[in-house]
């Protein structure tokens, strides 16, 4: 298909994720439900055709010559990056495969390059499998770190943070994918302050006029005045004080076992805070995921472009069965639209 030179909205780019997981199926379901018309898929044409069959949809798949060319409604448009790993359709679903990890990484790189060339408005990434990436020799622990490296300018990577959000709760992490022992060592006044500043900027972009940020402690009872650890005294509280000196509405450190309940926003209980900064991966993600992964969205903050993702993994146990729910992907698409508008 030929490209058009007329002015047109830039599409959202959806990367196919790990082809052995449910990524292609939830993408196919989103298009079949008519909720992804402004999106283009970066992935393998044959894999997406199979995914449509698996979810019981009969949309025509269009293979694009460029990711931003116009397409007719009622189709599933796929841009297959040049040189994409061959034979992906033959890989067994529900298993860790190095070829699948390599292809997932290739699609991410191609999508970022297209975005940097002005051919898209945002990236929505379907789930990848970290072990498959590692098996393929891709030395990143996940999407966040890979996207950070791809966004580097003159070797300088932007400071990024991971936010997980749903309609009731938002949390941003100071540390992400590393061992817990290493995460504790990474907590410093500077890293906590940077997280607060990135979170504040993100909330402004979300439309909050005066963002209220709660900062969770690391230790039980937020250290209990030093009885259970000094991280709150030596690092976290000084970062909050500096944030407040910059006119940011940050408070804490609060006990991590109760602050998320205080921040949760429902009709019956308006939240006291708009966002919680958590020190470690599981501290911050368990509360959001407990409320339901089907509506959770992962947003990478600090990148020079918008990136969102569903709040779940590759679900190898149900891959290929047409059972996967696209709700979290659809929520990720909605947030990407909102942030890139």
Q: What is the pLDDT of residues 221-273, one digit of tens each?
A: 999 999 999 999 999 999 999 999 999 999 999 999 999 999 999 999 999 99
Classified by CATH at the fold level, domain 1-159+294-341 comes out as: Isopropylmalate Dehydrogenase (3.40.718)
pLDDT at 311: 85
Burial (CB count within 10 angstroms: exposed 0-12, middle 13-18, buried 19+), residue 5: exposed
Report pLDDT digits (tens) over 15-53. Answer: 999 999 999 999 999 999 999 999 999 999 999 999 999
User: Can you give the pLDDT at residue 246?
Assistant: 97
Chain segment 291-309, per-residue pLDDT in tens: 876 778 999 999 999 999 9
pLDDT of 2 > 50? The answer is no
Is the per-residue pLDDT at 5 higher than 80? Answer: no
pLDDT(6) > 60: no
Confidence of residue 318 (pLDDT cuts 50, 70, 90): very high
What's the mean per-residue pLDDT of the chain? 93
Q: What is the CATH number of domain 167-291?
A: 3.40.718.10
Q: What is the mean pLDDT of residues 210-225?
A: 95
Annotate the chain with three-state secondary structure. Answer: CCCCCCCCCCCEEEECCCCCCCHHHHHHHHHHCCCCCCEEEECCHHHHHHHHHHCCCCCCEEECCCCCCCCCCCCEEEECCCCCCCCHHHCCCCCCCHHHHHHHHHHHHHHHHHHHCCCCCEEEECCCCHHHHHHCCCCCCCHHHHHHHHCCECCECCCCEEEEECCCCEEEECCCCCCHHHHHHHCCHHHHHHHHHHHHHHHHHHCCCCCCEEEECCCHHHHHHHCCCCHHHHHHHHHHHHHHHCCCCEEEEECCCCHHHHHCCCCCCCCCCCEEEECCHHHHHHHHHHCCCCCCEEEEECCCCCEEEECCCCCCCCCCCCCCCCHHHHHHHHHHHHHHC
When pLDDT is averaged across residues 134-142 and rounded to a whole number, the result is 90
Burial class of residue 143, CB neighbours in 10 A (0-12, 13-18, 19+): buried
pLDDT for position 141: 83
The average pLDDT across 167-187 equals: 94
Pair of tokens at residue 77: 């448009």
Q: What pLDDT, on the 0 to 100 scale, is given for residue 168?
A: 92
Distance CA 302, CA 98 (A): 30
CATH 3.40.718.10: which residues of the chain?
Answer: 1-159+294-341, 167-291
The predicted pLDDT at position 94 comes to 96
Over range 202-216, report the average pLDDT: 94
């Amino acid at each position: 298909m030929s490209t058009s030179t007329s002015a047109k909205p830039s599409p959202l780019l959806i990367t196919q994720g790990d082809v052995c997981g449910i990524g292609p199926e939830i993408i196919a379901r989103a298009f079949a439900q008519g909720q992804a018309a402004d999106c283009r898929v970066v992935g393998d044409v044959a894999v997406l055709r199979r995914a449509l069959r698996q979810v019981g949809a009969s949309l025509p798949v269009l293979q694009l010559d460029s990711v931003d060319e116009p397409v007719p409604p009622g189709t599933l448009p796929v841009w297959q990056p040049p040189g994409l790993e061959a034979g992906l359709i033959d890989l067994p679903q529900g298993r860790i495969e190095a070829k699948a990890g390599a292809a997932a990484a290739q699609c991410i790189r191609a999508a970022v390059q297209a975005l940097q060339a002005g051919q898209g408005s945002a990236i929505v990434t379907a789930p990848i499998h970290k072990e498959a990436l590692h098996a393929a020799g891709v030395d990143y622990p996940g999407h966040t770190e890979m996207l950070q490296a791809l966004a580097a300018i003159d070797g300088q990577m932007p400071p990024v943070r991971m936010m997980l959000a749903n309609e009731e709760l938002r949390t941003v992490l100071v540390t992400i994918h590393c061992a817990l022992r290493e995460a504790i060592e990474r907590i410093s006044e500077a890293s906590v302050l940077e997280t607060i500043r990135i979170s504040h900027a993100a909330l402004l972009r979300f439309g909050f006029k005066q963002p209220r940020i709660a900062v969770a402690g690391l230790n039980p009872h937020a250290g209990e005045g030093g009885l259970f650890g000094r991280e709150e005294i030596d690092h976290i509280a000084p970062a909050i004080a500096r944030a407040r000196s910059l006119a940011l509405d940050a408070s804490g450190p609060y006990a991590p076992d109760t602050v998320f309940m205080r921040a949760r926003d429902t009709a019956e209980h308006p939240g006291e805070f708009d966002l919680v900064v958590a020190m470690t991966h599981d501290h911050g993600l368990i509360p959001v995921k407990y409320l339901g992964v089907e509506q959770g969205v992962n947003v990478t903050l600090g990148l020079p472009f918008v990136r969102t993702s569903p709040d779940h993994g590759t679900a190898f146990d149900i891959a290929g069965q047409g059972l996967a729910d696209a709700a979290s992907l659809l929520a990720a698409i909605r947030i990407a639209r909102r942030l890139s508008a």
